[in-house]
Structure 1
């Protein structure tokens, strides 16, 4: 029997005492501490037969940190077994060792994750920008990234109730998360009446 088949029940035996797992929608998800990241990836490849590397990325979870995820697959015996490995690093110390030594395909994914979220990968052979233009400042997939384009150009679409000449009750104006108040940031700073943040 493949070790994969005993999961999630045997997660601590396979991935260590601090690992947790759940199985839902034909996807096994295993969470490990950051210091067990590389050993968990190695276990997935060598013990569970997950030799196919699919993708690696992150999710910014305010108040928690960055949840770094790697999706790998076992194709042994004609069965497809999917595994999502996850770990969390704090915002103020967003660093993991590179997975390139375990899965060579992780190289570009780590570059993109570094660029979009600011997560560092120590030991990466070439951690340079991959997608953004030269000189771009910031990490655009972080929740605290300012959407400057929404200051320069208003969001297109229908007007809010009360903004047309038809009268009616006026709704409290609010800005979506990540959209700065144009009176506080950008070319119109200090020139507009203040917007209410929701």
Structure 2
């Protein structure tokens, strides 16, 4: 059994199970748990760790690994931030809904389902939140094909004028207060005497 991580009152294995790991950085304690412990982990965060404030829930598509689902919850007195993470496979992206533990997860799970295709079983209604009902696919998946790029290929230029598409070059901008070197007069090219420079400062 390891020592408690961060502000946890007990070792992470004791709180979240033997497969759980914890790490703290930038003031956020991150706990990784298996998908089978997802709902239990959220309940422990709320009851045992007093993380009563639900901040957000989302996912990240990690090719070759799966969808990493994250929930950020906070204890308010004193303020302690917890990021609970789990990974579901691409072939079967499914987790139990957190709405019964945190009512605020309802819209976040709808968005995550819509954008990544992660199904939250027990959710009261995984309807579209941001996209039209007729939209097909999940646009935040790494394998999602952007239709605009199929219809018109990207020219490959970083800036206008850097490729063969014939567009004009972007005008080069000068920092504020710097005159155009092409418009300097001989008088402006001469450095002021040191005494005059000191008075200006």
Q: Give the TM-score category using the shorter length.
A: 0.7 to 0.9
Distance, in Å, in 2 between the alignment partners of 1:105 and 1:99 is: 9
Asked if structure 1 preserves the Cα contact closer than 8 Å seen for 2:5 and 2:12, the reply is: no
Large movers: runs of 4+ above 4 Å = 3-6
Q: TM-score, normalised by structure 1?
A: 0.75
Give secondary structure in 1 for the equivalent of 2:56: strand
Give secondary structure in 2 for the equivalent of 1:45: helix
- 2:49 maps to 48
Asked if structure 1 preserves the Cα contact closer than 8 Å seen for 2:96 and 2:120, the reply is: yes
Higher Rg of the two aligned structures:
2
Asked if structure 2 preserves the Cα contact closer than 8 Å seen for 1:34 and 1:87, the reply is: yes
- 1:111 maps to 110
Give the superposition deviation at 1:158. 2.8
Partner residue of 2:160 out of 143, 158, 161? 158
Determine whether 1:72 maps to 2:73: yes
Unpaired segments of 5 or more residues in structure 1?
A: 166-198
Give the superposition deviation at 1:159. 5.0
Task: List per-residue Cα deviations over 1:108-143 (Å, max 9, x = no partner).
Answer: 000000000000000101111111012000000000
Distance, in Å, in 1 between the alignment partners of 2:43 and 2:101 is: 6
Task: List per-residue Cα deviations over 1:27-75 (Å, max 9, x = no partner).
Answer: 0000000000000000000000000000000000000000000000000
Give the superposition deviation at 1:13. 1.0
Distance, in Å, in 2 between the alignment partners of 1:85 and 1:152 is: 40
Give the superposition deviation at 1:164. 7.5
Two-structure CA RMSD over aligned residues (Å): 2.1
Q: Call closer, same or farther: CA 1:28–1:5 in 2, change over 3 Å.
A: closer
How many residue pairs match? The answer is 160
Q: TM-score, normalised by structure 2?
A: 0.74
Asked if structure 2 preserves the Cα contact closer than 8 Å seen for 1:53 and 1:103, the reply is: yes
Asked if structure 2 preserves the Cα contact closer than 8 Å seen for 1:115 and 1:130, the reply is: yes
Unpaired segments of 5 or more residues in structure 2?
A: 167-201
Distance, in Å, in 2 between the alignment partners of 1:8 and 1:63 is: 35
Task: List per-residue Cα deviations over 1:141-190 (Å, max 9, x = no partner).
Answer: 000000111233444743556x489xxxxxxxxxxxxxxxxxxxxxxxxx
Asked if structure 1 preserves the Cα contact closer than 8 Å seen for 2:6 and 2:29, the reply is: no
Give secondary structure in 1 for the equivalent of 2:114: helix
Q: Call closer, same or farther: CA 1:124–1:53 in 2, change over 3 Å.
A: same
